Structure 1
Amino acid sequence: MSHRDLVASVLGEHGGTYAEQAGIRLADKPSPLFQLLVLSTLASTRIAADIAAATAAELWDFGWRTPERMLASTWQERVDALGRGGYRRYDESTATSLADTCELLLDRHRGDLRRIRPTGQEGEVDALLDALQGFPRLGPVGAAIFCREVQVVWPEVRPFFDDKAIGGARAVGLPDDPATLGALVAPTKVGELAAALTRVGIASSRQR
């Protein structure tokens, strides 16, 4: 089977981004970018990605799609919403860190993550990863998740494949070089491929 055939098979079985799964209509606008930041924060702990997506969707159901609206909620309301989404192990600490994230986003970036969007210059993706890790509980894993997903609307980040996506590529016999992987699909599909390969990588690691 050719690499392109393998990619088509992976997308057919595992396609769709995690942002889509979490009910985020991703666009280069403050609100959906904030939502992606929240999803990345939730997914960066030892919680299954599906639970993180379901929990994020629970938060949106309460209208907490902007930092201002998130901050208008009470700590207990956030704890309860996180618990209903299945995020019970870290619900209390995460309820606090989400408020801290909102305050930092408003104070440092005026609530708009487009202020740290790369312009296409060399080294800017690394700078973006560093900037993202300035948010509470968003370490290297969470920052990579954000970049993996945001490349759908920030082409300057493409092609971005984090370690889990690269692991998925190796598991199915695809190249592990990001540029080579990205060239196997249309530019607008790179983010979806990265998410699909991440799911493959996670499934593969569970089988070991």
Structure 2
Amino acid sequence: MNGGDGGQRAVVRTLLDRYGETYAEQCGIKVRNTPQPLYQVLVLADLLSTRIRASVAVASARALFDAGMRTPRRMRDATWQQRVDALGEGGYRRYDESTSTRLGEGAALLLEKYGGDLRRMREAADGDAGALSRALQELPGVGPTGAAIFLREVQGVWSEFAPFLDPKAVQGAERLGLPGDGAKLARLIKEDETAAFASALVRAALDREIAEEVREAAAG
């Protein structure tokens, strides 16, 4: 650990100051409890969950939205090639064809089952993160990782799921010498910082140099 609670708090503040931006914010999504931004976070989570750089996933989500595919209906009604082209523009070429298919199918199922509104899925889950994760995974291509990323990104507006740390965020915490327990970590931050903190921890997990930089800066 980093010199007890004070050392841990120094690490947390340094991490948030330098890397405390959610992936949704990086993508230009203003997360609110309304259908369109929630759906955009789901698309981003889907792209982030595959074996591809986070920066490429963010750029590809932006390209889809810039091409007009900001809602389930627009995503469903776009042609397969239009989705492929947008993904390619964002650099998401390795999985573009299969991803185009699942985005279309997922949007269609979301419209059919929930009227395109993820808030209805939230209501059905009734505060149970496991139930919400299982419901998300009914959508084509959304696995446990994608569902966890979605929960991580929306916990700022769906506060019943906060603090939510997916396995990658926990890995980042441990790399920084912080507790690998959500409740203990939550005591080190303000209530409205949970989503940003979780994303910052993920960045530390993905890049060992970030973790080292933060620890050195906090110690200094």
Q: TM-score range by the shorter chain?
A: over 0.9
Measure, in 2, the Cα distance between the counterparts of 1:71 and 1:121: 27
Is the contact between residue 55 and residue 86 of structure 1 (CA under 8 Å) also seen in structure 2? Answer: yes
Q: Gapped runs of 5+ residues in structure 1? A: none
Q: Gapped runs of 5+ residues in structure 2? A: 1-5, 212-220
Partner of 2:22: 17
Partner of 2:98: 93
Partner of 2:112: 107
Is the contact between residue 44 and residue 141 of structure 1 (CA under 8 Å) also seen in structure 2? Answer: yes
Q: TM-score, normalised by structure 1?
A: 0.94
Query: Cα RMSD (Å) of the superposition?
Result: 1.9
Check if 1:80 corresponds to 2:117: no
Higher Rg: 2
Is the contact between residue 118 and residue 157 of structure 1 (CA under 8 Å) also seen in structure 2? Answer: no
**Post-superposition shift, 1:15?**
1.3
Is the contact between residue 118 and residue 156 of structure 1 (CA under 8 Å) also seen in structure 2? Answer: no
- Per-residue CA deviations over 1:2-37 (Å, capped at 9, x if unaligned) read 211110111122110000111111100000011011
Check if 1:34 corresponds to 2:32: no
Question: Which of these residues, 167, 173, 191, is aligned with residue 169 of structure 1?
Answer: 173
**Post-superposition shift, 1:125?**
0.7
Measure, in 1, the Cα distance between the counterparts of 2:126 and 2:58: 32
Q: Look up the SS of the partner of 1:87 in the other structure.
A: coil
Question: Which of these residues, 188, 201, 206, is aligned with residue 202 of structure 1?
Answer: 206
**Post-superposition shift, 1:204?**
2.7
**Post-superposition shift, 1:185?**
1.0
Measure, in 2, the Cα distance between the counterparts of 1:138 and 1:205: 30
Q: Which amino acid in 2 is paired with 1:187?
A: E
**Post-superposition shift, 1:119?**
8.6
Q: Look up the SS of the partner of 1:117 in the other structure.
A: helix
Question: Which of these residues, 67, 75, 90, is aligned with residue 62 of structure 1?
Answer: 67
Measure, in 2, the Cα distance between the counterparts of 1:93 and 1:115: 27
Q: Which amino acid in 1 is paired with 2:193?
A: K
Q: Which amino acid in 2 is paired with 1:66?
A: T
Partner of 2:3: none
Q: How does 1:43-58 map to 2 (within 5 A)?
A: 43-58=48-63
C-alpha change, 1:185 and 1:68, in structure 2 (3 Å) is: same
